[in-house]
């Protein structure tokens, strides 16, 4: 298979994941974002990079936003929101941050592939974004092949991470419309220290 065909395959899977996103859960996330005093984002590994990308765009939209775990991140408080990005919903550091946020009476939204996960159980709202959740894969390769199932073309959590990135970028476009923010408005908030 060529790289181009692999890209097309991934794109088809992202479109399939997009078609399964529940719009009511997206509206709940938007409400949580807009009622929060401050927004904190967390994730680990590549999901953490997706969370940081969304944090940057929220800052461009005028939200007060912080990335959990950074040296300058302030204490989370009641009235704040933590957005936890975790495909499996079981990443220890992310679940620990959600627990800490709940202890401080902050709200939590999880963006995950597994609505039955530990992170989801701690959440006030959940957005399910498709992907391959770790720990749910069948380990019997031969049985899977005989049934016609195959390993996904993308390793580990790649499909979740790509789908979550496209989800958040699409959400940014929606927030631009709702907040009547232009790209020029956002550009004025972009850092000059780069």
pLDDT in 10s for each residue of the chain, 194 residues:
789 998 998 999 999 999 999 999 999 999 999 999 999 999 999 999 999 999 999 999 999 999 999 999 999 999 999 999 999 999 999 999 999 999 999 999 999 999 999 999 999 999 999 986 444 444 454 554 456 555 556 777 889 999 999 999 999 999 999 999 999 999 999 988 88
The whole-number pLDDT of residue 153 equals 62
- Report the relative pairing of strands 125-128 and 65-67 from DSSP bridges: unpaired
The whole-number pLDDT of residue 141 equals 45
Q: Which residues form the domain of 182? A: 3-133+156-187
Contact 29, 125 (CB under 8 A): yes
The whole-number pLDDT of residue 138 equals 46
Residue 149 within any structural domain of the chain: no
Instruction: Specify which residues 85 forms β-bridges with.
Output: 43, 111
Residue 66 within any structural domain of the chain: yes
Closest-CA residue to 159 (of 138, 130, 136)? 130
Residue 138 within any structural domain of the chain: no
Residue 107 within any structural domain of the chain: yes
Number of domains in the chain: 1
The whole-number pLDDT of residue 168 equals 98
What is the SS3 assignment for 36? coil
CA distance 50 to 41: 10
Residue 139 within any structural domain of the chain: no
What is the SS3 assignment for 95? helix
Residue 148 within any structural domain of the chain: no
Contacts 24+ apart (CB under 8 A), 132-138: 132/87, 132/156, 132/157, 132/159, 132/160, 133/87, 133/88, 133/89, 133/160, 134/87, 134/88, 134/90, 135/88, 135/90
Which entry of 161, 173, 174, 183 is annotated as an active-site residue?
Answer: 161
Contact 61, 176 (CB under 8 A): yes
32 is catalytic: no
**Residue 114 burial by Cβ neighbours in a 10 Å radius (0-12, 13-18, 19+):** buried
Contact 110, 55 (CB under 8 A): no
Residue 103 within any structural domain of the chain: yes
Residue 147 within any structural domain of the chain: no
Give the pTM.
Answer: 0.89
CATH code (residue 20): 3.40.50.10490
């Amino acid at each position: 298979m060529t790289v181009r065909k692999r890209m097309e395959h991934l794109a088809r899977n992202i479109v399939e994941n997009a078609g399964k996103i529940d719009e009511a859960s997206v509206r709940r996330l938007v409400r949580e974002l807009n009622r929060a005093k401050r927004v904190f984002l967390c994730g680990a590994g590549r999901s953490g990079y997706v969370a940081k990308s969304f944090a940057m765009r929220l800052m461009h939209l005028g939200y007060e936003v912080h990335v959990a775990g950074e040296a300058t991140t302030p204490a989370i408080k009641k009235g704040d929101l933590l957005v936890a990005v975790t495909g499996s919903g079981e990443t220890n550091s992310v679940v620990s941050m959600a627990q800490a946020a709940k202890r401080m009476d902050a709200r939590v939204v999880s963006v995950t592939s597994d609505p039955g996960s530990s992170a989801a159980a701690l959440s006030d709202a959940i957005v399910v974004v498709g992907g391959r959740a770790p720990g749910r894969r069948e380990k019997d390769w031969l049985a899977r092949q005989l049934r016609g199932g195959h390993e996904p073309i993308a390793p580990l959590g790649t499909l979740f991470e790509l789908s979550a990135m496209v989800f958040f970028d699409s959400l940014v476009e929606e927030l631009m419309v709702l907040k009547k923010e232009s790209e020029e408005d956002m550009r004025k908030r972009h850092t000059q220290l780069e």
